[in-house]
Amino acid sequence: MAGARPAPRWLPAAAALLWACCGSAATDGIQDQAEQFFRSGHTNNWAVLVCTSRFWFNYRHVANTLSVYRSVKRLGIPDSHIVLMLADDMACNPRNPKPATVFSHKNMELNVYGDDVEVDYRSYEVTVENFLRVLTGRIPPSTPRSKRLLSDDRSNILIYMTGHGGNGFLKFQDSEEITNVELADAFEQMWQKRRYNELLFIIDTCQGASMYERFYSPNIMALASSQVGEDSLSHQPDLGIGVHLMDRYTFYVLEFLEEIHPASQTNMNDLFQVCPRSLCVSTPGHRTDLFHRDPQNVLITDFFGSVRKVEITTQTVALDPNLVGLETRVPNDEMATEPLKYAEQLPVAQIIHQKPKQKDWHPPGGFILGLWALIIMVFFKTYGIKHMKYIF
Amino acid sequence: MAGAGAAVLGLLLLLGSPGGSTGPPRDSLREELLLSPLPSGDLAATFQFRARWDSELHREGVSHYRLFPKALGQLISKYLVRELHLSLTQGFWRTRTWGQPYLQAPAGAELWVWFQDSVTDVDKAWKELSNILSGIFCASLNFIDSTNTVTPTASFKPLGLANVTDHHLLRYAVLPREVVCTENLTPWKKLLPCGSKAGLAVLLKAERLFHSSYHSQAVHIRPICRDASCLSVSWELRQTLTVVFDTFSVGQGKRDWSLFKMFSRTVTEACPLASESKIYVDISSKTQENELLEVTPLPLSVHEAPVQGDRRTYAVYDLLSPSLFNVSRSLNVQLKWKRPQDSLDLSTPVLHAQRYVSGYGLQTGEISTLIYNTHPYRAFPVILLETVPWYLRLYVHTLVITTKGKENKPSYIHYQPAQDRRRPHLLEMLIQLPANSVTKITIQFERALLKWTEYTPDPNHGFYVSPSVLSALVPSVIAMKAEDAEQNPLFTSLFPSSDGSSYFVRLYTEPLLVNLPTPDFSMPYNVICLTCTVVAVCYGSFYNLLTRTFHVEEPSRGGLAKRLANIIRKVRGVPPL
């Protein structure tokens, strides 16, 4: 690093003069510093978006997840940092009258599927086991990078789940459930391994508030679309497609997020009020006691966007002048001695006269050996050992 | 100051000579689009993007990738792959009505790989390769395991250069249940050097491509001859996308086509990185008298080629020639039919096949395959490869092959029975098809009962049997010379042709959907409820009878006043009324 110029001698004296004159300005400086302390210290953002329902009549759950995916991508989180799990394919479903589209507003106004979607876990891969493995990081070694949640202790993670649920559980694909205790334990494992800095958990199912009741790890904020004992309702059907397109809570969250841009200063308190009872029919709930910051100071883009802090420096960096001399000389390829040829696609004579593959000889297994040992033992027990000489 | 100046100079030198130290670029890109009207009135559009790299990928230290995508290049060198073919298809190619396809793919996902002979553990490399490909292409290829992988012994010979064809280096798997949608198209488009921003790839919009009868996208990687002497090896990556647009859903019943109508876009320029960028339109329906098909704008040149046993004529639009965009900035190729439809000759293809499952009930069934040879006087052999999952237990003693009423004994049979939960059935046969005949192959099977955890979340949909593969050398009417592959259009050089009198074709039949006997999945819950109720009612009643004592209770006489009086009397300690 190039050395900084030494500070001029008169700087401390000027600072002292400024300090003496403007005392109120100094207190504002302390206020700023204090606020800086309470601003989030995250450096990267991740999102795990899960839709757990299968079958065409659950179109709205896929539309819910895709609308959050769309907002999150629009606000800056790249595909490499989003783990999208969709339990069924609605866009290319044979029942879809407009293939490769998933709409969120009726009259086909907004296609949330888009043109560059990347789904990481599809169809039968969306299981409780895979979901918990993604969260805790315990995945088989050959899993590709796009299917992993590679977060660290300075990551803010947004987890959105939608589907059918009940008091204390969420149903995965009509065949298994995840309970709120399992989810809370998974988050605790994440905390112990320092896999998140702050976590925002949003759930849009019936009785969604029961899913965040059991959380006990720090730095988690949770939102749900309905309280225990209430059902989350769907918004509006489209008569052309024939199913309900979105759930109410996520519909109003989507409308709220459409107005957010990467530089907006909207905070979490606005998200808590996004769907009053008159619009949503159910009572959305939230939980902030595990979160160390005041929701007023938490920006929406802390979780939904990927806002990076940029520091501008005026230092100069000198390039190594010796780099020019390094040439990459392409080594000559080996030449074969005789011309290579393509294989014959259907060599009939060769196939007909192909010798059948010799099956590898295995020694007889335990059962056969045991049976023979039994037969020999019985024979010698009956007739005595002296008959051995007649055999050999 | 001097150090900074030298650094700036060095930077300029480095930027000023991009290729000076490395020589001319050794990779090239060709892109082409083939529009062929099908006999049934639909239109097939085949895109091919070929990146060819004159380099040895298995050598250590390859780090500079230009047109060849780095994701696939690193995959090939790490897993010592010699050939890789992956296709994702939605729909089925109807050979009887649409004619012979250039390169057909089975419904779902198909992956077949030839490894180099220096690979020690082929199965492990196969498993890891399919996992990595599932991440690259957003497809569930990680479901490929030993229960759906087979090693064919006679089909799927390598399409590229090969001196060793030891079949234990080959692995083949099909996932017929795989859905193809925009999330598979997105990474496929990202592998193209120009992406979807320039060239022919701007036409690839998902909303139009998936609103079609057949959509197939594939990636083929193989080593090819670098030049005519064939002493050194180049690597070729072909990305093909075939889509068939339906007259009625897209064309609104009219048989006039245009690029804008099909793709809702037109072509404005060629990809700047491509050395060749052409659009071919099949105008073979011209007869001597007058034209059946009119193509606008007028093509600058016409190309004739023997393709699949037939001499066909193509109108060529070269996007790199400057005169093409003189009139208008965008190119919208339009096809208009002059004559009505019934005057079109519908020739049946020489080889086509059909497969279906028959039987009743949930215990047994029968798979029948019908293979048609419509050539009037030539017979030719065909290899049939069938892969049946282990839960449909085939009975090979019921295998019957009949042609024209008589039994037809195959010249070569390879059968590998299934092992439960470990390996599927593999049946490979070389059958001679007599001229102008129908061959019927039937085999009976029995359905197995799976363990209740092995069922998918929607078991009543049914279980798929992967399509069977037919590989044949079909005799052609005209001589097909093996010309110099570099000058020819890409669609003629898919399969290496060695013999001039026949061409190689690979067909796939339909996948089958078979219902397995499924249990009632709510039974564990029902049993628990019923058992607990019965136990509570019976045992509870007995327990109460045995352990409780009963005594008579005074019936309470009514009347509010009396009750109040009794309460006061109780308080006073006086016996009640």
**CB–CB contact B229 A330 (8 Å):** no
Checking phi first, is residue A187 left (phi over 0); if not, alpha (psi -120 to 50) or beta? alpha
Within-domain flag for A136? yes
**Is A321 within a domain?**
no
Count other Cβ atoms within 10 Å, centred on residue B294. 14
Q: Quote the pLDDT of residue B257.
A: 85
Average pLDDT score over residue span B80-93: 94
Is B440 within 8 Å of B404 (Cβ atoms)?
Answer: no
Asked if the structure places residue A217 within a domain, the reply is: yes
CB–CB contact A320 B23 (8 Å): no
Average pLDDT of chain A, as a whole number: 85
Is there a domain that residue A106 lies in? yes
pLDDT at A109: 83
Q: Quick one: average pLDDT of A286-293?
A: 92
Poorest-pLDDT segment among A124-138, A350-364, B92-106, B370-384: A350-364
> pLDDT for A220-279, tens place per residue?
999 999 999 989 999 888 888 999 999 999 999 999 999 999 888 899 999 999 998 898
Q: Is the dihedral of CA A138, A140, A145, A148 positive or negative?
A: negative
CATH code for the domain of A259: 3.40.50.1460
Whether A82 maps to a domain, the answer reads yes
Whole-number pLDDT of residue B5: 46
Which pLDDT score is estimated for A107? 79
Q: Is the pLDDT assigned to residue B492 strictly greater than 50? A: yes
CA angle B32, B216, A103 (to 5 degrees): 110
pLDDT, tens digit (0-9, with 9 covering 90-100), for A65-106: 999 999 999 999 999 999 999 999 999 999 999 999 999 988
Q: What is the pLDDT of residues A36-69, one digit of tens each?
A: 555 668 889 999 999 999 999 999 999 999 999 9
Mean pLDDT within B279-300: 73
Rg for chain A, CA atoms, rounded: 32
Predicted confidence band of residue A354 (pLDDT cuts 50, 70, 90): confident
The answer to whether B161 contacts A342, with C-beta atoms less than 8 Å apart, is yes
Which of A324, A343, A352 is the closest to B13 by Cβ? A324
Which amino acid does the sequence have at B34?
L
Task: Kindly report, residue by residue over B442-468, the tens digit of the pLDDT.
Answer: 999 999 999 988 999 999 999 999 999
**What radius of gyration, in Å, describes the C-alpha atoms of chain B?**
34
Pick from A319, A342, A348: which is nearest to B496 by CB?
A342
DSSP category for residue A123: G
Segment B352-369 shows an average pLDDT of 94
Q: Is the pLDDT of residue B504 over 80?
A: yes
pLDDT reported for residue B83: 93
User: Edge-to-edge strands of the sheet including B380-388?
Assistant: B412-416, B425-433, B380-388, B469-475, B502-508
Number of domains in chain A: 1
B10 pLDDT band (50/70/90 cuts)? very low
On chain B, the residues whose CB falls within 8 A of the CB of A341 are: 161, 163, 230
pLDDT at A10 over 80: no
What pLDDT does B389 receive? 95
pLDDT-based confidence at residue A121 (cuts at 50, 70, 90): very high
CA-to-CA distance for B442 and B355, rounded, in angstroms? 10
User: For the residues B297-318, what does the mean pLDDT come to?
Assistant: 83
Model ipTM?
0.85
Instruction: List the beta bridge partners of residue B304.
Output: B313
How confident is the model at residue B577, as a pLDDT? 72
**Nearest CA to CA, how far is B181 from chain A (Å)?**
6
The predicted structure's pLDDT at residue B416:
93
Q: What is the pLDDT of residue B231?
A: 84
Contact indicator for B372, B351 with CB cutoff of 8 Å? yes
Task: Report yes or no on A20 lying in a domain.
Answer: no
Round to whole Å and give the CA distance between B482 and B493: 9
Contact A117, B186 (CB under 8 A): yes
CA atoms within 13 A on the CB side of A158: 24
pLDDT at B15 over 60: no
The pLDDT value recorded for residue A24 is 52
Q: How far is CA B293 from CA B44, B315, B373, B525, in A?
A: 15, 11, 30, 66
Distance CA(B148)–CA(A189), nearest Å, equals: 36
CB contact under 8 A, A99 and B3: no
The pLDDT assigned to A110 comes to 87
**What is d(CA A262, CA A33) in angstroms, rounded to the nearest whole number?**
23
Residue B401: which of B368, B426, B357, B377 has the closest Cα? Answer: B368
Contact A115 B206 (CB under 8 A): yes
d(C-alpha A213, C-alpha A168), whole Å: 8
| Structure-token pair, residue B545 | 């009878």
Say yes or no to pLDDT of B112 above 60. Answer: yes
What is the pLDDT at residue B494?
Answer: 78
Of A9-13, A371-375, B212-216, where does mean pLDDT reach its minimum? Answer: A9-13
Asked if residue B170 lies in contact with residue B152, where contact means CB atoms within 8 angstroms, the answer is yes
Catalytic residue among A206, A244, A275, A286: A206
Strand, helix or coil for residue B238? strand
Kindly list the distances between the CA atom of residue A391 and the CA atoms of A79, A274, A324, A380, in Å, as whole numbers in the listed order: 76, 93, 86, 12
Q: What residues contact residue A188 under an 8 Å CB cut-off, 6+ apart? A: A216, A217
Q: Give all strands of the β-sheet with B214-225 in edge-to-edge order.
A: B149-150, B170-175, B108-115, B81-91, B214-225, B233-245, B43-53, B27-37, B276-282, B310-318, B301-307
The pLDDT value given to residue B18: 41
Judge: B496–A345 Cβ closer than 8 Å, yes or no: yes
pLDDT at B288: 41
pLDDT at A228: 92
Is A61 an active-site residue? no
pLDDT of residue A187: 96
CA angle A330, A334, A337 (to 5 degrees): 155
Residue with tokens 């099949």: B282
Of B56, B181, B225, the CB nearest to A100: B181
Locate the chain A residue with the closest alpha carbon to B21.
Answer: A327
Is the pLDDT higher at B476 or at B244? B244
Residue A55 lies in domain = 42-304
Give me chain B's average pLDDT, please: 86
Q: Does A326 touch chain B (CB under 8 A)?
A: no
Residue A263 lies in a domain: yes
Give residue-wise pLDDT tens across range B120-142: 999 999 999 999 999 999 999 99
A128-170 residue pLDDT tens = 999 999 999 999 998 999 999 999 999 999 999 999 999 999 9
Distance CA B376, CA B372 (A): 12
Q: Is the dihedral of CA B343, B348, B349, B355 positive or negative?
A: positive
Q: Report the chain A residue with the minimal C-alpha distance to residue B160.
A: A342
Active site residue A51: no
- pLDDT for residue A317 is more than 80: yes
Structural domains in chain B, CATH included, are 27-337 (no CATH), 351-482+492-514 (2.60.40.740)
| Cα separation, B544 vs A75, whole angstroms | 67
Which of B6, B135, B457 is facing A54, going by the closest CB pair? Answer: B457
- Of B22, B14, B121, residue with least CA distance to B62: B22
Other CB atoms within 10 Å distance of the CB of residue B475: 17
